[in-house]
């Protein structure tokens, strides 16, 4: 149609920018590299960011955890087995949480036994709270029970120690220098308990009798007090007389503090809490007293140091396995995918054979036929078939990219196969491979934990343990001492969940096919 039909003025039909040269506008934003773009995509995934911080915390725990505690895995004291977690802040301020205490509901006989320990080791609480008397029905009869909070560290009380005479003298000297009582009077052999289960109970310093069922019963005086049975033989040899200052004021009796056992060995009663401090003070290992942040297991090992040591080993093993599998699998898969044909066919059959061998059979055969440590066996078993999955991923990526135009151009310009493989194709596959390698780490840790838990692999030797071993030792005490299995379970659960979320975030960030699909 004509312009005049629309009644449009001719002056409006003019050239725009007639004197200007038209050209592309300058980009106002900075160019973004592949890694920068991947990081931005990863940062949009909040779950992956949280998982990253959790993984970082777990790694820092594995690295620095063993340095934050004076205990080592080899420090095992059966006398402090099953001790509950203790935080010194809560303990000092009398907060009945995380203070190493345990709620008890016991008969008067058992309550009096704990009360006797507290009376002898003056100055330290064994019964942490005032007892409440409650009524209970047992076998159709009513009985009274004492409900109170028990200190799992001080309940050890007095123990027998077999010392050489020089050690005995050195211990007395330590007492004088530190003004603390460690050695306590021996009990009269003629008045010691007759019940077989209490013959070697050093905490019985009071008079007892053999009651029903051949059980030890306490004999009180007319005022309801304990009657001590300390050995007061004044004609004892000078060698076993105590020469240090006694901390019991007003007591001037001469007690026997050692019992000769022959061979220059002497049996003495020691306050084990103070004796423990003395032993480690003499060793100079930095341990000042028994106090376990996450409690102790059935061997008396600090769970914090064991968990940190096990986590460190698990991370080191997993990272090494993942790195080796990445290198071997990437090279093997690159050759398969690039050359294809007969080369790919032969190499794939080898992969099929190796991939069909169960890892359990590999571990069993290595255990019986390879004279090596379980750590070496574990690494070989993980490596033997672990790289197969990485090779398959690499092969798939090479088939995907090897016929792209930029690869054909490089080949036309005379680039060598090695350059094309690792300069042009491999960088495009690196995102998928990194994601796969990261996900190998939790898989290796979980497999190692499972093998240790089942007892197939034993990693608790010397100054080393594993998370799986801690879980295995704690499963039998799930209802009595749940702290033994609680903290290793939390660690492995956080690890697996966080790595899965982290791996999903990496997959979405590095996979170009997902760009722009988040909305």
Q: What is the dihedral of CA 58, 61, 66, 72, to 10 degrees?
A: -50
User: Helix, strand or coil for residue 483?
Assistant: helix
Looking at residue 383, what is its pLDDT? Answer: 86
The stretches of 253-297 forming alpha helices (DSSP H) are 272-283
Looking at residue 411, what is its pLDDT? Answer: 84
Give the residue carrying structure tokens 């574990």. Answer: 378
Q: What is the pLDDT of residues 411-428, one digit of tens each?
A: 888 888 888 888 888 887
| Whole-structure pTM value | 0.84
- Residue 265: φ, ψ to 5°: -110, 140
| CA angle centred on 417, ends 415 and 419, rounded to 5° | 65
Looking at residue 517, what is its pLDDT? Answer: 45
Q: Are 305 and 296 in contact (CB under 8 A)?
A: no
Strand segments (E) across 108-156: 132-138, 141-151
Q: What is the pLDDT of residues 267-285, one digit of tens each?
A: 999 999 999 999 999 888 8
Q: What Å distances lie between residue 488 and 47, 246, 484, 491, CA to CA?
A: 23, 45, 8, 5
The stretches of 402-482 forming alpha helices (DSSP H) are 405-412, 417-419, 426-454, 467-474
What stretches in the chain show pLDDT beneath 70? 1-8, 13-28, 233-241, 243-252, 462, 511-519
The stretches of 224-373 forming alpha helices (DSSP H) are 272-283, 303-339, 341-355, 359-369
Looking at residue 55, what is its pLDDT? Answer: 94
Looking at residue 512, what is its pLDDT? Answer: 55
Residue 444 and residue 452: Cα distance in Å, rounded? 12
H or E segment to which residue 205 belongs: none
User: Helix, strand or coil for residue 88?
Assistant: helix
Domains parsed from the chain with CATH numbers: 49-64+302-514 (1.10.3720.10), 86-153 (no CATH), 155-283 (no CATH)
Looking at residue 516, what is its pLDDT? Answer: 44
Kindly state the greatest CA–CA separation across the chain. Answer: 141
């Amino acid at each position: 149609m004509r312009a005049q039909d629309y009644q449009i003025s001719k002056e409006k039909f003019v050239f725009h920018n007639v004197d200007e040269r038209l050209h592309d506008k300058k980009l106002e934003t900075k160019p973004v590299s592949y890694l920068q773009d991947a990081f931005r995509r990863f940062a949009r995934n909040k779950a992956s960011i949280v998982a990253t911080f959790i993984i970082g915390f777990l790694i820092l725990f594995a690295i620095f955890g063993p340095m934050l505690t004076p205990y080592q895995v080899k420090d095992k004291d059966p006398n402090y087995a099953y001790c509950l977690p203790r935080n010194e802040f809560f303990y000092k301020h009398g907060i009945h949480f995380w203070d190493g205490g345990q709620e008890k509901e016991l008969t008067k006989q058992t309550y009096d036994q704990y009360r006797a320990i507290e009376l002898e080791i003056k100055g330290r609480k064994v019964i942490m709270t005032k007892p409440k008397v409650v009524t209970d029905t047992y076998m159709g009869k009513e009985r009274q029970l004492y409900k109170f909070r028990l200190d799992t560290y001080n309940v050890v009380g007095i123990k027998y120690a077999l010392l050489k005479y020089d050690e005995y003298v050195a211990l007395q000297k330590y007492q004088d220098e530190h003004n603390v009582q460690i050695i306590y009077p021996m009990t009269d052999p003629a008045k010691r308990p007759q019940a077989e289960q209490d013959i070697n109970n050093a905490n019985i310093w009071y008079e007892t009798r053999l009651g029903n069922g051949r059980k030890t019963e306490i004999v009180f005086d007319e005022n309801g007090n304990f009657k001590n049975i300390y050995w007061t033989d004044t004609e004892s040899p000078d060698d076993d007389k105590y020469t240090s200052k006694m901390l019991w004021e007003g007591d001037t009796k001469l007690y026997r503090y050692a019992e000769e056992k022959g061979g220059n060995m002497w049996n003495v009663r020691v306050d084990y809490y103070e004796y423990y401090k003395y032993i480690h003070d003499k060793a100079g290992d930095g341990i000042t007293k028994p106090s376990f942040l996450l409690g102790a297991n059935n061997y008396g090992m600090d769970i914090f140091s064991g968990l940190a040591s096990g986590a460190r080993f698990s991370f080191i093993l997993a990272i090494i396995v993942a790195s080796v599998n990445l290198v071997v699998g990437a090279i093997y898969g690159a050759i398969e995918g690039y050359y294809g044909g007969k080369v790919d066919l032969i190499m794939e059959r080898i992969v099929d054979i190796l991939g069909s061998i169960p890892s359990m059979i590999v571990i069993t055969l290595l255990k019986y036929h390879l004279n090596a440590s379980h750590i070496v066996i574990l690494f070989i078993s993980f490596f033997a078939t672990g790289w197969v999955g990485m090779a398959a991923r690499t092969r798939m990526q090479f088939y995907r990219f090897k016929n792209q135009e930029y690869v054909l151009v490089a080949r036309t310009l005379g680039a060598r196969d090695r350059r094309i493989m690792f300069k042009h194709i491999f960088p495009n596959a690196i995102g998928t491979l990194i994601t796969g390698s990261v996900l190998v780490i939790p898989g290796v840790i979980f497999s190692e934990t499972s093998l240790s838990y089942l007892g197939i692999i034993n990693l608790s030797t010397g100054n080393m343990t594993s998370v799986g071993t801690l879980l295995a030792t704690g499963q039998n005490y799930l209802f009595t001492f749940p702290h033994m299995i609680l903290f290793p379970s939390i660690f492995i659960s956080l690890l697996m969940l966080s790595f899965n979320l982290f791996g999903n975030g990496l997959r979405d960030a590095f996979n170009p096919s997902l760009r722009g699909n988040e909305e």
